[in-house]
Amino acid sequence: MAGTAAVGTSTKLAREDHRHPTDTTRAPLASPAFTGTPTAPTPAAGNNSTQVATTAFVRGELTGVVPAGTVIYAARNTAPTGYLKANGAAVSRTTYADLFAAIGTIFGSGDGVNTFNLPDLRGQFLRGWDDGRGIDAGRTFGSEQMDQFQAHGHELHYENTGAFGGSLNTTLNTTNLSGIMSNYAKQPIQLAGYDAPRFGNETRPRNVALLACIKF
């Protein structure tokens, strides 16, 4: 077949074996493969039709699934793709623009111009922000608290010899024990049938260490 075919308007189907035998610029109709860098219109956010999803559309939808500023804990010692270690580091406001838009300078302003600080969650437990409820009143969002033990009192009893040789059970409230029981009052209390007491430089519950990360 020679010559140049004109574009027709017939509604009849074309057979593949009728195409020009030397026309290699077009893929067979049955082939689903694309070559080169094909483009397509980007669907609107939230579109769930059969329209082709571009890479721009997919990225936008994934960003919405896990928004910047979301904190996760990973069972690994490196941050997953798309996350940074929540270690208080100063990072670029431009490179991590979405994260900067989400948290701003709540956890530190970095150099004040080009960087901002990530939250530093290393070695700390998280507590839900009170947000006006009154349980942890006066807390500023993003602020830290030192460890604390609630104020309380104990009764300490000791036996002393009474005036008539009997046993006298006395309650010590604010009695100064210096020189009498000071060595005993400072000792750990251990009761039969219980585990040995544990002491350290903080009050804490049983826990496991994982890596805190933040989505950028």
- Most confident range, picked from 28-37, 53-62, 188-197: 53-62
Residue 125's pLDDT is 93
Which of 209, 191, 211, 189 lies closest to 199 in space, CA to CA? 189
Q: Is 75 a residue whose pLDDT tops 90? A: yes
DSSP letter, residue 99:
H
Span of 16-20, 30-34, 87-91 with lowest mean pLDDT: 16-20
Q: For 44-55, what is each residue's pLDDT tens digit?
A: 888 888 888 888
Residue 89's pLDDT is 99
Which amino acid is present at 143?
A: S
β-pair partners for 213: 72, 85
| Mean pLDDT score, 30-34 | 69
Q: For 138-187, what is each residue's pLDDT tens digit?
A: 999 999 999 888 888 877 666 555 555 555 555 555 555 555 555 555 56
CB 142 within 8 A of CB 109: no
Residue 35's pLDDT is 78
